[in-house]
Amino acid sequence: MGQSVFETQPKIMVLTAGTIMSTTPSAPKIENLHIAAFHPMPTPDAVHSQRPLTPAAAKTVEEGRAALIRILTGVDPRRFVVVGPCSIHDPVAGMDYARRLKALAAQVSDVLLIVMRVYFEKPRTTVGWKGYINDPHMDDSFRIDEGMSLARKFLLDVNELGLPAGSEALDPISPQYLGDLITWNAIGARTTESQTHREMASGLSTPVGFKNATNGDVSVAVNAILSAARSHRFLGMRGDGQVSIVHTTGNPYGHLVLRGGDGRPNYDTVSVALAQEAMKKAKLVPNIVVDCSHANSFKKPELQPLVLSDVVSQIVAGNRSITGVMIESNLEAGNQPIAADRSKMTYGCSVTDGCVDWAGTEAMLLEAATRLRAVL
């Protein structure tokens, strides 16, 4: 029989008080040097079992995705609107918002498909609150296990209202937990160039919007759309927690999201025309979504209505490549810091980017619908 690994290790002979001792040196510490601990996480199947998909929620997702695909392929002349809080931090206020949005969606459904923005993961340039999944209690306790279950519950509640949900796909494992409850996904400006996120997008079951880079570069997003449309193989995880080689078929419903960059907007007619040409040159259908927030509004929520009005004017004038818009909106205007005493925080006010308030949101969408009815 061959020697074991331990038997083949070199021996150190030590002479102590006339006795010869043989010792084997311990293996050098060369991995996990900066890991403090590993905490077990429930598998996606376990979380699904805890918060199962209901028939009503499944119907909302299925119909929402189908409607989006019809819009992106030109079968449905409507436009879609991804609107809602910059991030979800209070599920009670979030559901209050969702119920109002559901009622508003019914009023404009002839020309606009409303998808609620339900963002749980927040990418950070340096540090800051990373979102409801990562830190649901907003106290640096980082109960990701609780956050994932609570996020799934919130999505179930929104979908059971009959309101489709859109989110950012940031963590490549999260879709295994939440993907069956998402109608539309975005890949953010910081991750559009990431190979990991392009591969992930190629396997997502939803249409996916790729944002231009933070410096305004549109080619990064165009390349991402092309990449995600192809088949990929990469490391991922199954529902039972087994690490696996994931084989995707490619996502044919990628589209471009213009969000401005380097402090400059790119929703104007010239910028949109250049984006159209870039997509056509890449042999892509020029489906463009305009993000009314971020650099397009100089991160000033009070400017978002002006951006939307300009975009609607372009559609009324004959533009057919703008298929949707994004709006950051909440019950109350602006944003607020996370207070140690949560009771001192304003109900329905963002803790991340500033938002348009509910009255402003309602006025924006009703006006847009009125103007679009003349041409759609």
Q: Would you state the pLDDT for residue 126? A: 77
Q: Would you state the pLDDT for residue 13? A: 40
Q: Would you state the pLDDT for residue 299? A: 95
Q: Would you state the pLDDT for residue 9? A: 43
**Over 70: is that where the pLDDT of 8 sits?**
no
**Over 70: is that where the pLDDT of 314 sits?**
yes
Tokens of 258: 């213009």
Q: Would you state the pLDDT for residue 50? A: 98
Name, in order, each residue with C-beta under 8 angstroms of 65's C-beta and a sequence gap of 6 or more. 164, 183, 184, 205, 206, 207
Q: Would you state the pLDDT for residue 5? A: 37
Average pLDDT (217-239) is 98
Name, in order, each residue with C-beta under 8 angstroms of 327's C-beta and a sequence gap of 6 or more. 81, 82, 83, 84, 117, 292, 293, 304, 308, 356, 361, 364
**Over 90: is that where the pLDDT of 236 sits?**
yes
Q: How far apart are CA 201 and CA 223, in angstroms?
A: 13
Average pLDDT (322-340) is 97
How many CA atoms lie within 13 Å of 256's alpha carbon, on the beta-carbon side?
33
Q: Where are the domains of the chain?
A: 44-372
Q: How far apart are CA 3 and CA 19, in angstroms?
A: 26
Contact (Cβ atoms closer than 8 angstroms) between residue 258 and residue 288? yes
237/19: higher pLDDT? 237
Q: What percent of the chain has pLDDT over 70?
A: 93
Contact (Cβ atoms closer than 8 angstroms) between residue 258 and residue 291? yes
**Over 80: is that where the pLDDT of 3 sits?**
no
**Over 80: is that where the pLDDT of 60 sits?**
yes
Q: Quick: pLDDT tens for 146-176.
A: 999 999 999 999 999 999 999 999 999 999 9
Q: Would you state the pLDDT for residue 11? A: 42
Q: Quick: pLDDT tens for 19-44.
A: 444 455 677 889 999 999 999 999 99
Query: Average pLDDT over the chain, rounded to whole?
Result: 93
Architecture of the domain whose range is 44-372: Alpha-Beta Barrel (3.20)
Give the Å distances, CA to CA, from 33 to 28, 37, 152: 11, 11, 33
Q: What percent of the chain has pLDDT over 90?
A: 90
Query: Which contacts of 243-252 are long-range, i.e. CB under 8 A and separated by 24 or more positions?
Result: 246/199, 246/203, 248/199, 248/202, 248/203, 249/202, 249/203, 250/202, 251/201, 251/202, 251/203, 251/204, 251/207, 251/208
**Over 50: is that where the pLDDT of 4 sits?**
no
Q: How far apart are CA 245 and CA 236, in angstroms?
A: 6
Q: Would you state the pLDDT for residue 25? A: 65
Average pLDDT (189-203) is 97
Phi-psi category of residue 286: left, alpha or beta, with phi > 0 → left and psi -120 to 50 → alpha: beta
Q: Would you state the pLDDT for residue 281? A: 98
**Over 70: is that where the pLDDT of 15 sits?**
no
Please give the full DSSP string across 248-282, using - where no structure is assigned. Answer: ----TTEEEEE--BTTB---SHHHHHHHHHHHHHT
Q: Quick: pLDDT tens for 73-116.
A: 999 999 999 999 999 999 999 999 999 999 999 999 999 999 99
17/335: higher pLDDT? 335
Q: How far apart are CA 226 and CA 208, in angstroms?
A: 12
Q: Would you state the pLDDT for residue 249? A: 98
Q: Quick: pLDDT tens for 242-283.
A: 999 999 999 999 999 999 999 899 999 999 999 999 999 999
* Burial of 192 from C-beta contacts in 10 A (0-12 / 13-18 / 19+): buried
Q: Would you state the pLDDT for residue 7? A: 37
